[in-house]
Amino acid sequence: MNIIVCIKQVPNTTDVKIDSETGRLKREGVESIVNPFDEYAIEEAVRLKEKNPGSKVTVITMGPPQAESVLRDALSKGADEGVLVCDRAFGGADTLATAYALSMAIKHLGNFDVIFCGKQATDGDTAQVGPGIAEMLDIAHVAYVKKINNISDKSITVERLMEDGYDVIESSLPVLMTVVKEINIPRLPSLKGKINSKKAVIKTLTAVDIGADEKRIGLNGSPTQVKKVFTPTQKTVEGEKFVGEPDVVASAIVAKFQEIGIV
């Protein structure tokens, strides 16, 4: 079984800074980590490999050269191969252009049975890239997966988290799944895993390598662009405090509501 995990390097949420001139997130000089939701995707992929001997887990990310660090982190936890999709032409990509580039990279890698993604990235919170990859690959996809019940050569049955419970869904393979944190508890890397990950050779793919259309990547392929990111100003709202016996306070509150037209 060939398993692919799409991950992303994101700024540490405790150290987010915004460029006052461009209004964009400042990534230079800011600690970067594996997108927290992707940790669950990596863990589930490794667990699936362990249950199916002979399987292979390939982790892929799109980003600058330093994004190689998140691939090595995944390798230290049991992934077999890391692939970095890296090219200046990918710069400024929105979710559509990112999904396209990753889908082309996955096609370049060849056969696959299951693709895992975290439910969303903490630096964007759109939850669009995973389903976008599936649509561009023309394969089935299930979002918010909290449990894999069983899997065979041709199908998979999962539980999808919903607000009021969960759905049980059966899908054909290949399939892309975005997973939620309820699916597992990510493992820590072993010493042997860390040593092996440092020695591992990371494959790098450029836009030319994956045969990407230059009109569909980077800024050229991004119909949406972030114009400004800012922290909203907090408005101070003056309140009114009611003190006294319960029946007196209740009457006063009702009278106040009537005065301002709520009741």
Tell me the C-alpha to C-alpha distance, in Å, between residue 87 and each of 72, 105, 205, 212, 217.
Answer: 19, 12, 8, 11, 10
Of 12-21, 25-34, 112-121, 182-191, the range with the lowest mean pLDDT is 12-21
Q: What is the pLDDT of residues 100-111, one digit of tens each?
A: 999 999 999 999
**Higher-pLDDT residue of 125, 159:** 159
Tokens of 148: 């894999």
Does residue 250 surpass a pLDDT of 60? yes
Segment holding 96, helix H or strand E? helix 95-109
CATH topology of domain 2-216: Rossmann fold (3.40.50)
CB-CB contact of 185 with 84 (8 Å): no
pLDDT at 66: 92
What is the spatial distance between Cα 140 and Cα 258, in angstroms, rounded to a whole number? 54
Confidence check: pLDDT of 114 > 80: yes
Distance separating alpha carbons of residues 72 and 195, to the nearest angstrom: 10
Model confidence, pTM: 0.82
Question: 36-94: per-residue pLDDT in tens?
Answer: 999 999 999 999 999 999 999 999 999 999 999 999 999 999 999 999 999 999 998 99
Query: Is 126 in contact with 242 (CB distance < 8 Å)?
Result: no
Mean pLDDT of the chain: 91
Confidence (pLDDT) at 232: 76
Q: Where are the domains of the chain?
A: 2-216
Query: With left for phi above 0 and alpha for psi between -120 and 50, is residue 261 left, alpha or beta?
Result: left
Say whether pLDDT at 118 is over 90.
yes
Please give the pLDDT value at position 38. Answer: 96
- Split at pLDDT 50, 70, 90, the class of 120 is very high
Range list of β-strands (E), 38-139:
56-62, 81-85, 114-118
Residue-level pLDDT at 27? 59
- Are 69 and 29 a contacting pair, CB within 8 Å? no
Report pLDDT for 102.
Answer: 97
pLDDT tens column, 3-29: 999 999 998 866 566 666 655 566 566
Q: Is the pLDDT of residue 183 over 60?
A: yes
Per-residue pLDDT of 53-63, as tens digits, reads: 999 999 999 99
| pLDDT at residue 25, as a whole number | 61
Given 3-state DSSP classes, what are the helix, strand and coil percentages for the chain, each rounded to the nearest 5? 35, 25, 40
